[in-house]
Amino acid sequence: MQLFRGRGFRRKFILVLAIFVGFYLRNSLITLFHIAFESGSWDRLSTCPSCQHSKYPFDETRPSPSGELDPISGHGYSPDGLLHVNPDAPHPIHELIRSAEVEWEKKLKRASKTLEEAVVEYKRRYKRDPPQGFDDWWDYVEENNVQLPDEYDTIWRELEPFWGVNPEELLKIQALQENRTDTFTIAKTEELDSNVVVTSFSNPETWEQRALLRGLDEILDLLAPVEDALPPYRAIFSPHDNPNLLSDYHIKKAALDAATAGEYVDLSKLPPVKHIGFASACAPGSPGRPIESPVDQSTRPPPRTDKTFIHDHRLAMDPCLHPYIFYHHSQYVAHDLGPAPEPTMAAQFSYCTTPLFHDIQPPTFISWVGDISPRANDPEWDQKTDERLLWRGSNTGMNSNDRTRWRHSQRFHLVSWANDMNGTMNVLMPGSEPGDKVGNGTELRKALVNPVVADIAFTGKPIGCDPHYCDYMESLFEWRKVQSANGKEAGNHKYVVDVDGNGWSSRFKRLITSNSLVFKATAYPEWWLDRSQAWAHYVPIQVDYSDLLDAYMFFRGDLYGENNHDDLAHKIASAGREWSLSFWRQEDMTAYFFRLLLEYARVMSPDREAMSYIV
């Protein structure tokens, strides 16, 4: 005690030593957490996410979430995909952008240049031979200058569970699946050398029209350039905007374990399905399934106050890791409990999926654009005059009535957030120098901030609501006359928000092809995710928008525009547009679909070995 009575050297030394020891112990615990995550013992820590088998074991070059404090910046990287802000460190967006640019360059440099290199890389990642027709696929890739020929991990991730199921059983399940209402089947047979719709809907006059509107013709158009090279296959498609096949964690894990061991799961010995809604897809003990009971959506968790940003966009979309998604996205909010999980691993194609479902997603041509012409009211960055954050759209996402929680869906939440004038909000303000401490944020009045920074509103009239509720919602919000985010008014904005609607946001393709910076908040990891780079091509945002204003103010600057990072915003916006023009062409979607169907035809074949490409 004598040492602490003065202000001398010894007291300072011990204080410094105590701080150092505390910092060391904290890092050690985080490192232990990281080791458990990477070694597969996550389940034993009772905090395992549903993505136990999606830790990229096949991609050693991919930077895995460390959970450690970065030794340079001091920010915490947790294995759930979030960066936790250290107020005594520089603003983390500087680091996130630098890291994204480095990783994107690595991805480009390591891309295979020859068929032989692609085969070697395929075997390294997936520990098996490529599918039959891989050489034909490579010919298409070369002829059409398709880049990143190795980055198709999403296909592996979605099809791998089916490798653990006997293909004879898969075909029996498929036969039953085709009898389900509201599905259609596309196939190529030995007798027919082109893709045809072989089955349709229970109500053709209604469902066939809806399917055409959602891309049936476009699916066939994408496959037309390669249909001669496709093997026989039979694929069931859903015409809905949302995924349909909720996974049971134990069943999916059993299939994945069998696939890893090179075996088939015994379907007669699978555990019985326990219907606890969406939580059924999460690992027991995980944040999304802490107890064996359904997600209680009648109460909402308190708002998060810690400052976080996304460092891994795919992980940040997993409700098993981030249960707040259950309360902020229509995919989940629209249901009281959620559907019952599937008792088997049925293979079905859907336009989008989430980590909780095992639907297989193809690329979709819906709302696709090749480029935006100069006449499309999209001036160059320096000519854009409005620096407010823009969003326009209808109130899609879920039905609105007195029996649903429509107020909590992502679009209503966004409009309410932007037009709230009561109280204050805590905002991380950008510093004048890159090395300035980011701090704990500044309390700002919403009435002062929101009118200055946000131009976010519904358009048209309320839809998807009971008549009296439509009138009620019309009185709650201002409904603008501008019908879309594509007009002259929208083109003048430097910053735009992209959010999901009834399903995935098909608007994103057009937005990222523009000269504006896109802030994307989504719960759907899309087919192109492995082939892009968040923070290099767009800004990833959490679906509760807890980081939206912090990220936006970093680029725009404070309320007077000072300390802005306009140059970085311009850089990402330009890179996003170039990525769209070079990596999201029709040829890129065809190449993805081609490879997906090669893999799918093999996993569904009774003779998988014969359907492999062996040099």
Amino acid at 64: S
**pTM listed for this prediction:** 0.87
- Which two structure tokens, joined as six digits, stand for 320? 């098993």
355 band by pLDDT with thresholds 50, 70 and 90: very high
- As a whole number, the mean pLDDT across the chain is 85
- Spatial strand order in the sheet of 479-480: 479-480, 454-459, 386-393, 493-499, 517-521, 539-541
Asked whether the predicted pLDDT for residue 28 surpasses 50, the reply is: no
- Which two structure tokens, joined as six digits, stand for 455? 């131009």
Question: How far is 157 from 135, CA to CA, in rounded Å?
Answer: 22
> Which residues make Cβ contacts (< 8 Å) with residue 21, sequence separation at least 6?
none
Nearest to 437, CA basis, from 95, 97, 92:
92
Degrees, nearest 5: CA angle 128-132-137: 105
Asked whether the predicted pLDDT for residue 169 surpasses 60, the reply is: yes
Question: How far is 469 from 463, CA to CA, in rounded Å?
Answer: 10
With H, G, I as helix, E, B as strand and everything else as coil, classify residue 429. coil
With H, G, I as helix, E, B as strand and everything else as coil, classify residue 576. helix
The pLDDT assigned to 400 comes to 85
Domain for residue 442, yes or no? yes
Question: How many distinct structural domains can be found in the chain?
Answer: 2
pLDDT (tens digit, 9 = 90+) per residue, 83-115? Answer: 999 999 999 999 999 999 999 999 999 999 999
Domain for residue 615, yes or no? no
Average pLDDT (149-171) is 97
Domain boundary pick from 91, 125, 160: 91
Lowest mean pLDDT among 86-95, 194-203, 237-246, 310-319: 194-203
The pLDDT assigned to 43 comes to 30
Nearest to 414, CA basis, from 328, 534, 474:
328
Nearest to 352, CA basis, from 506, 141, 197, 131:
506
- Which two structure tokens, joined as six digits, stand for 369? 């654009």
Report which of residues 343 and 10 the model is more confident about: 343
Asked whether the predicted pLDDT for residue 354 surpasses 60, the reply is: yes
Question: How large a percentage of the chain has pLDDT more than 70?
Answer: 81
Domain for residue 398, yes or no? yes
Domain for residue 547, yes or no? yes
Could you tell me whether strands 184-188 and 424-427 are parallel, antiparallel, or unpaired per DSSP bridges?
Answer: unpaired
The pLDDT assigned to 403 comes to 84
Average pLDDT (314-331) is 95
The pLDDT assigned to 208 comes to 54
CB < 8 Å & 24+ apart, contacts of 400-404: 400/462, 400/464, 400/465, 400/466, 400/469, 400/470, 400/473, 401/465, 401/466, 401/469, 402/466, 402/469, 404/334
pLDDT (tens digit, 9 = 90+) per residue, 401-452? Answer: 888 888 889 999 999 999 999 999 999 999 888 889 999 999 999 999 999 9
Domain for residue 294, yes or no? no
> Which residues make Cβ contacts (< 8 Å) with residue 178, sequence separation at least 6?
185, 199, 236
The pLDDT assigned to 1 comes to 33
Nearest to 573, CA basis, from 384, 427, 381, 431:
381
Domain for residue 171, yes or no? no
Domain for residue 393, yes or no? yes
Question: How far is 378 from 516, CA to CA, in rounded Å?
Answer: 8
Domain for residue 84, yes or no? yes
Domain boundary pick from 60, 91, 122: 91
pLDDT (tens digit, 9 = 90+) per residue, 300-319? Answer: 777 778 999 999 999 999 99
Asked whether the predicted pLDDT for residue 60 surpasses 70, the reply is: no
Asked whether the predicted pLDDT for residue 179 surpasses 70, the reply is: yes
Average pLDDT (171-177) is 93
Q: Which domain holds residue 69?
A: 2-91
The pLDDT assigned to 336 comes to 80
Average pLDDT (211-237) is 85
Local structure of residue 462 (DSSP, 8 states)? -
Domain at 477, CATH number: 3.40.50
With H, G, I as helix, E, B as strand and everything else as coil, classify residue 357. strand
Report which of residues 73 and 471 the model is more confident about: 471
